[in-house]
A and B are shown apart, each in its own frame.
Chain A
Amino acid sequence: MAINWFKYSSPASFYFLAGKMIPIFSVAAIILFAVGLYIGFFVAPTDFQQGEAYRIIFIHVPAAWMSMFLYVIMAMWSGIGLAFNTRLSSMVATAIAPTGAMFTFLALWTGALWGKPMWGAWWVWDARLTSELILLFLYIGFMSLQAAIDDPRRADKAGAMIALVGVVNIPIIYFSVKWWNTLHQGASVSVTQSPKMATTMLTGMLIMSIACWMYAIAVVLIRTRIIILERERHTAWVGELQGAGVAS
């Protein structure tokens, strides 16, 4: 059977596909957030060292992971858009940036609120914290640069350059706790070692992470659809959508 892999690379068909997928991801996000928070606050035990303050982990770690994942995905779609001149890829990259920036901000914010009671400081110029702050600036730089260029195709290309160059920061963030002596604790979960925390804590954190994924996918799809309509508003299919009154 021949599958047309390129069907959904057309903004018009992706618009309708995304419209069908948004409710699924939204419902999944709501359910998983509810389950994750329940486990985080009611099932997971008190930490023997950090007391209840450690419960910030259930939002801090997922936010920090998302900030890095979303950046890599944004850079990947930017790169594909740059290499193959596919409009939709660049639109997705543009749609990811605000959500990525939001998660980066949350990682820094919750980290500050966790750092104060544990380290005695809201902020230290530590390798992990500083590289995460640079990530926030990369997102803001990407968005500002795209907003400053009128021609969307040129904005895509310029943004792709920032996104691709900035990818170098991602391994720096990830390995910063190993490469430098930092105040920030090492990875709680890694591929090679068994997790260094109670199973229920880990479960809560993973469920919250999946919830953040679902949320990010839903909101990015909504934003992608908006960007598609904005950029394709002069095309026949958007005109027909308007005529039928179904552009919702």
Chain B
Amino acid sequence: MRIVSGGVTDMGRVRTNNEDCYRIVEPLNLFVLSDGMGGEAHGEVASAMAVETVVKHCLDAEANPAATFISSVQPSWSAQTKRLATAVHLANENIFKSAEEHPEQHGMGATMTAAWIAGAKLSIAHVGDSRAYLLRGGSLLQLTRDHSLVAEQVRRGILTAAEAEQSDMQSVLLRALGAQEEIEVDAEEHTLFPRDVLLLCSDGLTRVVTEPEIAGTLQAETEPARAAEKLVELANERGGPDNITVVIVRLEKDSKGWFSWLRGGTRKNPGSNGSVGGN
């Protein structure tokens, strides 16, 4: 499968700094997104540290596959999933240690949503309330579970989804990188199919843009970077209350099949001009 991707990060309309951070590592098909928190500029420090640690660990591991896995990786996971989960544990360690060593950074933290595609296998590792979605056959499915208080209350039936959207406790996270020395990382594997679209985003998008709107935008705009821009614009039109980061990954068929010449150029396929891709 051919993979095209693009991402956008934006300060939003209210904040004066951008504590979100993302990286697309094209040779690895690795996509990493983090939303930082903490006073002064420390949210930015935390999210950058989170993203850099994960990217560096995955790149290093490609060169040295024998590098050890840490914490509770499950034996059934693929090498990529184990690696990604390990990388997120390391990011937690780095942020926690840095905050211990620098008292001014005390209380800083970050979310982490990382996706790694190897062949048809998608590995996801996740902590916090940034999200990964999969659009397949027109249906949008949230792959990650928010580690926020309101999301947990909805799962336990204490709040309805509508009440959760109105709650002023939305920013309370149950898990974040850097908050504690040890952390539980959610990791999952899925099989990807041609035409699947993967979306990673920070809560700056999902607080103000609904899932049907996200699905509609991904279907209407097939160029990943442009679709990401449209979603950011939409969030800003709704007040842009927080930093907004969107990463979009589209999976396309390698070839269009044995009868593709019959169709010639009649098929609208903006991804085929070779100029698209992440930054």
Q: Do A and B come from one complex?
A: no
* A contact set with B: CB distance below 8 Å: none
